[in-house]
Structure 1
Amino acid sequence: MKNILLASAAVFSTLAGGAFADDDIVVSAERREQSLNEVPQSIAVISKNDLELIDSDHVSEILARVPGVALHRGSGAEQLTAIRSPVLTSGAGAGSFLFLENGVPIRSAGFANINGLFDAHYEIADRIEVIRGPSDAVYGANAIHGVVNVLTPLPTESVLIFAEAFGDTEDRYKFKGTVSGTDGAHGWFVGGSVVTESGYRDDAGLDQQKLTLRHVFDDGGVTIDTIFSFDNLEQETAGFIFGFDTLKDRDLRRSNNFPLAYRDAKAARLQSTISFDAGENTRVTFTPYGRWNQMEFPQHFLPSNALEENGHWSVGAQSAVYHDVGKLSLIAGADIEYTDGYLSEFQSAPRIFSYTPGQHYDYDVSAFHLSGFVQGAYALGPQTTATAAVRVDGTFYDYDNLIDSGIEGRFLRLDDRSDEFVTASPKFTLMHHVNDGASIYASYSRGARPPQTTDLYRLQINQTGDTAQPEKIDAFEVGARAALGERIDLGLVGFFMNKRNFFFRDADGFNVSNGKTRHVGVEADVQIELLETLRLRSAVTYAAHTYRFDRITGNASETITFGDDVDTAPRVIANTRVTWTPIDRTTLEAEWVSMGSYFTNAANDRSYGGHDVLNLRAEVGLTSSLAVFATVRNVTDALYAERADYAFGKDRYFPGEERTFGFGLRYRQ
């Protein structure tokens, strides 16, 4: 057990020593520990200290600290994601980002959830790692634009108890606690969290409970690391508000036109990583896992208000062999997974336009995924390393329609069918250490993913044209990390990405299977030690996300023109924090979150002006075991939008919360 505890001290180190300190360890790039300075790609780490200080009400608050990342917070626990991309919706939003917990995907690749991060137990996480851009060979489907990996704490050497209670002026109450320890070769961890809130808006309350159990066995030769997690979400859902005047009205912005909307979801996951040495220079890891989830919600965003029920269960395994000898480092492995999923949609309301009452869809899909990968890194010299990798993914769907095939109103139900997709994802990198404090790297990578099952089988009458194909993105990246003296750490990255086979439904309801977009930008992550007790850190992104094709639709506001910005793609996003630690166990932070303006429709003639939000946080230790903390969110009481959109001839918004005061207690023994 001592070996795993020593590893945990490195793996879960904080960023206190600088943005790119030598002892910063990441595990997401290769599913094993690596120094961040040795990784030739863009990885950000949100440490345990930061996670505790943020004490987020929503995961979007955490990921706002990462360059190139923006989450649009929806109602309750929901979110839409952008990682080196516009904020993506529908199948693209679900399938373009890979959400992991302890290295294992939270959902099966073809059955992803657009709000996928609400299942992750980030409330008690020890760290979160974010890969921007297509990932390394160890990950496949859904890692088109990036990867988010939520990591559970490892057991502590001695018994450690942690508890927290928090409440704020929006009637939001959060409770969480963990306990861990070690007994001989066995280590254990238990973590739970509960949140209940009445909701910032009318009829928009939320209750969510999460549990994580971890057991680590280490006899000095074989390590078995087993993790179980469970999540239960029950929320009342609020939809968009309509009109800019409503956004700026303190009463109307709290209204909810969909008081009967809700989302109920449950998920359970189990994984066990077995690792051992297979020789002096070879390490083997094998991770069998299983997952189950189900979700139910009325589609309040459609006239039908149809009830959707979906879910899937999976069993699978990840494997990798690591061989390091001399100048050469090799990784090879295979991943396999079987999934059985379902989707049902039923309208109980009378006919509304072409939305007919009764069963719209009722189908099962079984899926089989098989992947193999190999990666080799070779030291060309004392300071320079070249890496080449390739991954091949095979995805096979078997669709079973459980109701009559054909057309019913606007709904198209296909006959039973099978589909298969094979993709290859190569990657090449070159990294050079200029000196002990600086490195530069360049890379080319291709990301690829199969279509989501909903894109293939949940069709409407106009979607009889092109079928969804594997989406592919070619990405070029150049980056540098440097310590400029003893007080400044700087990370700077430039990227250029072309995506093709972007699949979506246009404003006329027709399939677009050959959409093309371009993503070009610069990201900076800088940390400055202004004084011994005063630190500034800023994550700034400038990026252009543009259409690279033309598409004329009957709705002029959604006509696409080559070179226009993709809607919901701000050119500038930034997050800047000043942290002051005047005495031991006292921390004060001021955070400025800036969202630039963006277009809200494809024709680029409607827009949202962006916003700036100021947050304050403080924590003070009262005794050796007890601390008090406080937050003031949206200090200036700005009337802003978490998400802005334009559809059906209307500007629509998810309003951000007004100024909110929170207070909490932490106990650690």
Structure 2
Amino acid sequence: MKNLSVFCACLLSVTTLTPVLAEDGIVVTAERRATALSDVPQSITAITANDIELIDADHISEILSRAPGVTLHRGSGAEQLTAIRSPVLTSGAGAGSFLFLENGVAIRSAGFANINGLFDAHYEIADRIEIVRGPSGALYGANAIHGVVNVLTPSPSENFSVFAEAYGDTQDRYKFKGSVSGTEGANGLYAAASVTTEAGYRVDAGLDQQKLTLRHVYDDGRVSVDTIFSFDNLEQETAGFIFGAATLKDKELRKTNDFPQAYRDAKAARLQSTIEFDAGEQTRIQVTPYARWSEMEFPQHFLPSNALEKNGHKSVGVQSAVYHDVGPLSLIAGIDAEYTDGFLSEFQSMPQVFSYTPGLHYDYDVKAVNASGFVQGEHALGPRTTASAAIRVDGTIYKYDNMTDSDVVGRFLRLPDQTDRFVTASPKFSLRHELDDDASVYVSYARGARPPQTTDLYRLQINQTGDQARPETIDAVELGFRGAFGERINLELAGFFMDKDNFFFRDADGFNVADGKTRHVGVEADVRIDLLKTLTLQSAFTYAKHTYRFDRPVGNATEAISFGDDVDTAPRVMANTRLQWRPVDRIMAEAEWVAMGSYFTDAANDHKYEGHDIFNLRAELGLTEALAAFVMVRNVTNELYAERADFAFGNDRYFPGETRTFGFGLRYRN
């Protein structure tokens, strides 16, 4: 039955193909400026403000699942693990393979990224979220290996406006958010805040989070200055894995928490200011200086030591770009630079457990300098054919300073002070051809590259004395179609083939693998059909195969890697299908079907999660011109599913998804 339902979701997606476009057909992530989506020779999905408001997500995973090729495994509280044209990646690979942006600037510094990085983004009030699938290093550099997520803040409104929303549900979760906005002369102001508090679906798993965004725009027609400040504070109690399929399927046991002492406290602040001006009739210059700060602490409940980790970094940087458009030629060139000072410490207060010794494990500081230059050219070869080429070169220096003795303590290896240097290059080539006014095809090649994460280089254990982590690269070829069939059907199709080298991870014996190779091949469809004037069907579908391209025998034979095996936690099939009904302006309803295919939970492909189907209902009623009420039912069928499934230490492990949840809210907008 499970395979049949996933097949039906796939069939529905394939036979109703289309992209979820921005309402104005414009995206900014492709070229770091506003660009018509129809002119972009790569896969980009834009989730618009209307859909973000409709979803009213408890977790950003609910929004991003509407893009093909994308899934986020929701952890406890605000935590997440990401997949974009990839397996769900963890550790350094999970932190460094995806570039998370807010208004075009990375939320964390390259090399100091966080696998949970999207919980810092103020997605609750976003005007749009753009997802680029596939390598995007030519313009964005490090971490844009598998894809980019860019959360965009609303611009100030032309007239003074107020927005407010309050929501509560049967999981004892309450959310509040609001904004004020307006423009007077050359100055525009937008201010927004959101607050979430929840008791938690599981025992000792509550969450409190507050976010603030301030935006000021000055534009006198000659020069514009766009300044944005963001702040996030997260305090959560953290629940760990539950163990065994029987526990997952038990309505009460699945709510238990074997790690009541676990928590995560995190704070982050970011400030950026984009200055734009014309330097001639055909040239525009954009400069964005920025600064960021973050700190986080949490006990490592997933390890026997339960050691307390503290980490953080502060950084300053600048992005720049010069845009020159003349006739059939368009050029973009720029230089980016950044300085970061980061730290990490780990302390175990428990008595010795196996080789986990009490006391200080690590205490180090890393200073990093990154400088990059890029250039992109696009030329019209004819009235319907355009070619483009781009390249970026990134240089990174890490200066590691060990604040403890350089020795081995239990299982922990503390390196002496050292300096490491990395240089990576990210080229891209594409060709786009318009078949007619409503359809185009494109083919592209792109390379993504990134330096290692600092934790992969300096947070080592005694089994990790082999090859050092080196720059990871991925080579990708993509073939795509984007078009409309009449006035009712829009379609975006993409096929991709990607080979990744120097995939760094720890095998089942705890040893470094510095030269892992994986292959990623798949097809994606993004769909919209206007069945009636008031009825719309949308669907995002993915079929992909992610495989190991090397052999890795280990002492723990159950976790040996064989050439051609599926990478663990890599579902081949994913689909998200929605039916929206808008009979009149003040009434809207949506039914959503989220289908997750089966996937292996271990590297040897001996254990599997069978997948799940989740159904959600949403509706909104305008009570007056300014006030609306909305309701939603999540997990309508009360499916006992897993947000994440894993196999380790001889156990099937799960993060259980929430059971059926009823929610109600009021929304005011003048």
Give the residue type in structure 1 aligned to 2:128.
Answer: R
How many angstroms apart in 2 are the aligned matches of 1:47 and 1:584?
Answer: 18
Give the deviation of 1:124 after TM superposition. Answer: 0.4
Where in structure 2 are the equivalents of 1:567-606 lying within 5 Å? 567-606=568-607
Give the residue type in structure 1 aligned to 2:596.
Answer: M
| Superposed CA offset, 1:110-161 (max 9, x none) | 0000000000000000000000000152200000000000000000000010
SS in 2 for 1:109: coil
SS in 1 for 2:588: strand
How many angstroms apart in 1 are the aligned matches of 2:100 and 2:586?
Answer: 33
Where in structure 2 are the equivalents of 1:485-634 lying within 5 Å? 485-634=486-635
| Superposed CA offset, 1:425-467 (max 9, x none) | 0000000011110000000000000000000000000100000
User: Residues 19 and 74 (structure 1 numbering): CA distance in 2 closer, same or farther, change over 3 Å?
Assistant: closer
Give the deviation of 1:583 after TM superposition. Answer: 1.1
How many angstroms apart in 2 are the aligned matches of 1:220 and 1:297?
Answer: 48
User: Residues 536 and 437 (structure 1 numbering): CA distance in 2 closer, same or farther, change over 3 Å?
Assistant: same
Contact 2:621 2:628 in 1 (8 A): yes
Structure 1 residues not aligned, in runs of 5+: 1-16
Q: Which residue of 1 aligns with 2:11?
A: none
User: Residues 21 and 91 (structure 1 numbering): CA distance in 2 closer, same or farther, change over 3 Å?
Assistant: closer
Give the residue type in structure 2 aligned to 1:174.
Answer: K
How many angstroms apart in 1 are the aligned matches of 2:464 and 2:395?
Answer: 25
How many angstroms apart in 2 are the aligned matches of 1:159 and 1:451?
Answer: 47
| Superposed CA offset, 1:213-264 (max 9, x none) | 0000001100000000000000000000000000000000000000010000
Q: Which residue of 1 aligns with 2:226?
A: 225
How many angstroms apart in 2 are the aligned matches of 1:163 and 1:355?
Answer: 50
SS in 2 for 1:315: strand
Give the deviation of 1:211 after TM superposition. Answer: 0.1
Give the deviation of 1:19 after TM superposition. Answer: 4.1
Q: How many residues align?
A: 653
How many angstroms apart in 2 are the aligned matches of 1:583 and 1:540?
Answer: 29
How many angstroms apart in 2 are the aligned matches of 1:354 and 1:132?
Answer: 41
Q: Which residue of 2 aligns with 1:310?
A: 311
Contact 1:571 1:596 in 2 (8 A): yes
Q: Which residue of 2 aligns with 1:484?
A: 485
Where in structure 2 are the equivalents of 1:279-318 lying within 5 Å? 279-318=280-319
Give the residue type in structure 2 aligned to 1:93.
Answer: G
Q: Which residue of 2 aligns with 1:379?
A: 380
Contact 1:103 1:149 in 2 (8 A): yes
- More relative contact order, 1 or 2 (CA 8 Å, 6+ apart): 2
Where in structure 2 are the equivalents of 1:130-145 lying within 5 Å? 130-135=131-136, 137-145=138-146
Where in structure 2 are the equivalents of 1:648-659 lying within 5 Å? 648-659=649-660
Give the residue type in structure 2 aligned to 1:61.
Answer: E
| Superposed CA offset, 1:352-389 (max 9, x none) | 00000000000000000000000000000001000010
Question: Percent identity of the aligned residues?
Answer: 75
Q: Which residue of 1 aligns with 2:276?
A: 275
Give the residue type in structure 1 aligned to 2:567.
Answer: V
How many angstroms apart in 1 are the aligned matches of 2:298 and 2:490?
Answer: 46
User: Residues 20 and 249 (structure 1 numbering): CA distance in 2 closer, same or farther, change over 3 Å?
Assistant: closer
Contact 2:137 2:144 in 1 (8 A): no
How many angstroms apart in 1 are the aligned matches of 2:305 and 2:370?
Answer: 34
Give the deviation of 1:23 after TM superposition. Answer: 3.8
Q: Which residue of 1 aligns with 2:13?
A: none
TM-score (norm 2): 0.97
Q: Which residue of 2 aligns with 1:445?
A: 446
Where in structure 2 are the equivalents of 1:381-460 lying within 5 Å? 381-460=382-461
SS in 2 for 1:582: strand
Contact 2:137 2:447 in 1 (8 A): no
How many angstroms apart in 2 are the aligned matches of 1:322 and 1:626?
Answer: 43
| Superposed CA offset, 1:64-92 (max 9, x none) | 00000000000000000000000000000
How many angstroms apart in 1 are the aligned matches of 2:19 and 2:464?
Answer: 52
Where in structure 2 are the equivalents of 1:115-126 lying within 5 Å? 115-126=116-127
Give the residue type in structure 2 aligned to 1:436.
Answer: D
Give the residue type in structure 2 aligned to 1:358.
Answer: G
Where in structure 2 are the equivalents of 1:200-219 lying within 5 Å? 200-219=201-220
| Superposed CA offset, 1:490-542 (max 9, x none) | 10000000000000011111110000000000000111000000000000000
Superposition RMSD on alpha carbons, in Å? 0.9
SS in 1 for 2:541: strand
Does residue 171 (structure 1) correspond to residue 202 (structure 2)? The answer is no
Q: Which residue of 2 aligns with 1:259?
A: 260
How many angstroms apart in 1 are the aligned matches of 2:184 and 2:582?
Answer: 36
Q: Which residue of 1 aligns with 2:5?
A: none
How many angstroms apart in 2 are the aligned matches of 1:276 and 1:492?
Answer: 37
| Superposed CA offset, 1:582-627 (max 9, x none) | 1112110000000000000000010000000000000110000000
Q: Which residue of 1 aligns with 2:34?
A: 33
Q: Which residue of 1 aligns with 2:70?
A: 69
Q: Which residue of 2 aligns with 1:6?
A: none
TM-score (norm 1): 0.97
Contact 1:67 1:541 in 2 (8 A): yes
| Superposed CA offset, 1:82-103 (max 9, x none) | 0000000000000000000000
Give the residue type in structure 2 aligned to 1:628.
Answer: A
Moved over 6 A (4+): none
Where in structure 2 are the equivalents of 1:94-133 lying within 5 Å? 94-133=95-134
Contact 2:23 2:48 in 1 (8 A): no
SS in 1 for 2:323: strand
SS in 2 for 1:562: coil
How many angstroms apart in 2 are the aligned matches of 1:223 and 1:560?
Answer: 54
User: Residues 190 and 582 (structure 1 numbering): CA distance in 2 closer, same or farther, change over 3 Å?
Assistant: same
